[in-house]
């Protein structure tokens, strides 16, 4: 049966066909849809959202130890969080097959950096697969489980945004019934204390040697001979991009299994072609290996380190120019940055916070990161998940040592990000006696990645009801005495809460609680937020004085008519959050029933 699938859908299908029984992940672009699709196989696979990637991988390791085929899936920066268990499960090995999917965001379409997670495979001494399209993604994930069990090793599976989010035709198969293997206690293998680790370490090296043999002989690494004047060495989507440019006018060494690299095959390819181009995204890993083998090749001296190796990039690097393009007057195009939706519950907080003087705002990863931009200017920095609270702490501690310091540091973090790695940071704030102001923007969902459940929503990935985490109680349990929960759409409440927090000489937490406007409300949400999204706002043009105060809320439903000099609200977009209504100085904005 043939289906048109994205790489992520194909991985999910492949995992199901491979007999996977347990899968865990934390959402993150471009990996999110892998678990969302795996979750649809409810009868066969236990699929879960974990609070973070470390927990996801550790859960998968446990599932593997007791004998099930298991996987964990994450975006590239998520593997940093999961790196701790990754490096040691390489030593302990597995029981049921274990595959860790890393989705690298080459081109940084939706990420804070462009790290190349092929480096993790080398550093942790773990085999790695790299599919180039959806069909390979489905087939290789099945092979990855076979290799995992055959060699007793976790396997890394590296995909990139372009593989994750591109569709291709995939020939689908049936599920292989893989029984749960017997669990036999073996502390020498699974307890990495100094008495056991030297033997584990030896096994890792032995395994790598065997895997290099596999790398040389597997059909996933192959030579494709055409014109031999140019030889291209490529893995992942770079191979597809290269074929688009060179077609049959070059020969290829196509690498699907990239750690350890197939040294013998690389030498063989080098002996058959005149000139070698290594086309790889991010770091020169294959290139360096070729050079270490004494093989001359062109790599990062020709191709850029950063960004995708799309056909135009390759063409420009090799031939000096890409295809001819039509140039246009760029003054006729205005930027279109992503913005907060009409009715976004972050708006009220950003509007008030951005106005505060003598304030540093420590941001985090989520939709609220857009608060750095116009018209809010409500962020000074952000780094990684959970960092807002801890960075604010360090900054405030140092500022407090300065005489006459009048700067307060405010951290802003979402509900899901707080659960991810913010809790540890808040423990630190309380334990080390900070006086930071910490705002948890609880929009009742993991929003930016497209609405995934989390420990605060009361539902699991596979739709079961579960416990709700009480954020207020959790914050208090961390040792924070000053806690307030507010409605962020009520600007007076926001302002008063901020005034209160600024007046304290101790740490405080403000929880802004209102659902994301795009969330499909649960029955509990409907009960708790009875009036949500039931009205609209409209401008009385008789009263409007054209002061544009309402446009400073950055709402995409509001526009300003320059000819009439009046503000307008698009009734199709407005959901009646009433933030604009509160900022209008002449009360020209009113409520109408939706």
List, in order, residues 6 or more apart from 139 with CB less than 8 Å away.
14, 131
Q: How far is the CB of 570 from other proteins (least distance, A)?
A: 10
Q: How far is the CB of 11 from other proteins (least distance, A)?
A: 16
d(CA 8, CA 37): 8
Which residues of the shown chain bind other proteins in the complex (CB under 8 A)?
2, 4, 29-30, 109-110, 133, 161-162, 165-169, 237, 240-241, 243-244, 308, 310-312, 315, 322-329, 331-341, 367, 370, 373-375, 448-450, 548, 551-552, 554-556, 558-560, 562
d(CA 89, CA 72): 13
Q: How far is the CB of 82 from other proteins (least distance, A)?
A: 21
Q: How far is the CB of 219 from other proteins (least distance, A)?
A: 19
**Which three-class secondary structure state does DSSP give residue 102?**
strand
Q: Which is nearer to other proteins, 161 or 416 (CB)?
A: 161
Q: How far is the CB of 265 from other proteins (least distance, A)?
A: 22
Q: How far is the CB of 109 from other proteins (least distance, A)?
A: 5
Q: Which is nearer to other proteins, 62 or 338 (CB)?
A: 338
* Residues 555 and 342 sit within 8 Å (Cβ to Cβ): yes
Question: What phi and psi values does residue 240 have, to the nearest 5 degrees?
Answer: -65, -45
Q: How far is the CB of 472 from other proteins (least distance, A)?
A: 28
Strand order in the sheet with 155-160: 46-49, 22-25, 70-75, 98-104, 155-160, 128-129, 257-259
Annotate 161-186 with b (16+ C-beta within 10 A) or e (fewer). Answer: bbbbbbebebeeeebeebeebeeeee
Q: How far is the CB of 375 from other proteins (least distance, A)?
A: 5
Q: How far is the CB of 308 from other proteins (least distance, A)?
A: 8
List, in order, residues 6 or more apart from 126 with CB less than 8 Å away.
86, 90, 100, 120, 153, 154, 155, 156, 259
**Which three-class secondary structure state does DSSP give residue 482?**
strand
DSSP category for residue 229:
S
Q: Which is nearer to other proteins, 332 or 357 (CB)?
A: 332
Q: Which is nearer to other proteins, 108 or 292 (CB)?
A: 108
**Which three-class secondary structure state does DSSP give residue 336?**
coil
**Which three-class secondary structure state does DSSP give residue 570?**
coil
Q: Which is nearer to other proteins, 197 or 551 (CB)?
A: 551
Q: How far is the CB of 165 from other proteins (least distance, A)?
A: 6
For residue 253, give both structure tokens.
């060494």
Question: What phi and psi values does residue 100 have, to the nearest 5 degrees?
Answer: -115, 120
Q: Which is nearer to other proteins, 327 or 593 (CB)?
A: 327
Cis peptide before 147 (omega within 30 of 0): no
d(CA 468, CA 491): 27
For residue 198, give both structure tokens.
């030297």
DSSP category for residue 259:
E
Q: How far is the CB of 108 from other proteins (least distance, A)?
A: 10
Q: Which is nearer to other proteins, 483 or 558 (CB)?
A: 558
For residue 478, give both structure tokens.
């961390």
List, in order, residues 6 or more apart from 47 with CB less than 8 Å away.
22, 23, 24, 35, 38, 39, 41, 461, 462
Q: How far is the CB of 235 from other proteins (least distance, A)?
A: 15
C-alpha dist (Å) from residue 126 to 154, 207, 338:
7, 9, 38
DSSP category for residue 341:
P
Of 396, 395, 447, residue with least CA distance to 417: 447
């Amino acid at each position: 049966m043939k289906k048109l699938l994205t790489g992520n859908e194909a991985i999910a299908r492949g995992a199901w066909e491979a007999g996977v029984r347990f899968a865990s992940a934390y959402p993150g672009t471009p990996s999110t849809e892998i678990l969302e699709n795996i979750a649809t196989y409810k009868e066969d696979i236990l699929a879960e959202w974990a609070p973070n990637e470390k927990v996801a991988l550790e859960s998968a390791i446990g599932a593997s130890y007791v004998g099930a085929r298991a996987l964990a899936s994450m975006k590239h920066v998520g593997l940093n969080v999961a790196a701790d268990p990754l490096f040691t499960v390489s030593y302990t090995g597995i029981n049921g097959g274990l595959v860790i999917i890393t989705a690298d965001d080459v081109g940084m379409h939706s990420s804070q950096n462009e790290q190349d997670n092929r480096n993790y495979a080398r550093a942790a001494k773990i085999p790695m697969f790299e599919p180039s399209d959806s069909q390979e993604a489905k087939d290789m994930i099945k092979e990855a489980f076979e290799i995992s069990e055959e060699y007793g090793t976790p396997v890394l599976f590296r995909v990139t945004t372009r593989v994750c989010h591109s569709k291709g035709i995939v020939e689908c198969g049936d599920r292989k019934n893989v029984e749960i293997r017997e669990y036999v206690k073996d502390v020498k293998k699974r307890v990495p204390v100094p008495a056991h680790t030297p033997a584990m370490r030896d096994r890792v090296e032995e395994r790598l040697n065997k895997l290099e043999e596999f790398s040389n002989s597997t059909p996933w690494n192959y030579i494709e001979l055409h014109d031999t004047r140019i030889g291209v060495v490529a893995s992942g989507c770079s191979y597809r991009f290269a074929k688009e440019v060179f077609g049959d006018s070059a020969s290829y060494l196509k690498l699907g299994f990239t750690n350890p690299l197939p040294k013998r095959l690389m030498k063989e390819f080098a002996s058959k072609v005149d000139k070698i181009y290594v086309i790889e995204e991010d770091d020169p890993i294959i290139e360096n290996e070729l050079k270490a083998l004494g093989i001359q090749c062109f790599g990062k001296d020709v191709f850029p380190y950063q960004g995708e190796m799309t056909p135009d990039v390759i063409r420009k690097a090799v031939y000096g120019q890409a295809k001819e393009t039509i140039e246009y007057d760029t003054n006729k195009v205005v930027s279109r940055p992503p913005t907060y939706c009409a009715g976004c519950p972050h708006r009220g907080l950003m509007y008030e916070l951005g106005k505060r003087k003598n304030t540093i705002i420590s941001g985090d990863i989520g939709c609220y990161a857009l608060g750095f931009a116009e018209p809010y200017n409500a962020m000074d920095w952000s780094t990684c998940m959970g960092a807002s609270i801890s960075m604010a702490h360090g900054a405030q501690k140092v500022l407090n040592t300065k005489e006459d310091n009048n700067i307060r540091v405010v951290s802003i973090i979402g509900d899901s990000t707080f659960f991810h790695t913010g809790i540890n940071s808040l423990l630190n704030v309380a334990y080390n006696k900070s006086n930071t102001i910490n705002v948890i923007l609880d929009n009742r969902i993991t929003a930016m990645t497209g609405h995934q459940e989390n420990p605060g929503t009361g539902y699991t990935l596979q739709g079961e009801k579960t416990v709700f985490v009480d954020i207020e109680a959790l914050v208090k349990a961390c040792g924070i005495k000053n806690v307030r929960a507010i409605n962020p759409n009520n600007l007076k409440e926001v302002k008063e809460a901020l005034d209160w927090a600024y007046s304290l000489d101790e740490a405080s937490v403000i929880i802004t609680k209102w659902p994301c406007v795009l969330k499909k409300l649960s029955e509990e949400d409907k009960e708790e937020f009875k009036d949500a999204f039931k009205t609209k706002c409209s401008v009385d043009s008789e009263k409007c004085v054209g002061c544009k105060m309402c446009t400073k809320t950055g709402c995409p439903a509001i526009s300003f008519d320059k000819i009439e000099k009046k503000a307008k609200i698009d009734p199709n977009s407005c959901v009646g959050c009433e933030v604009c209504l509160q900022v209008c100085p002449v009360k020209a904005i009113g409520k109408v029933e939706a």
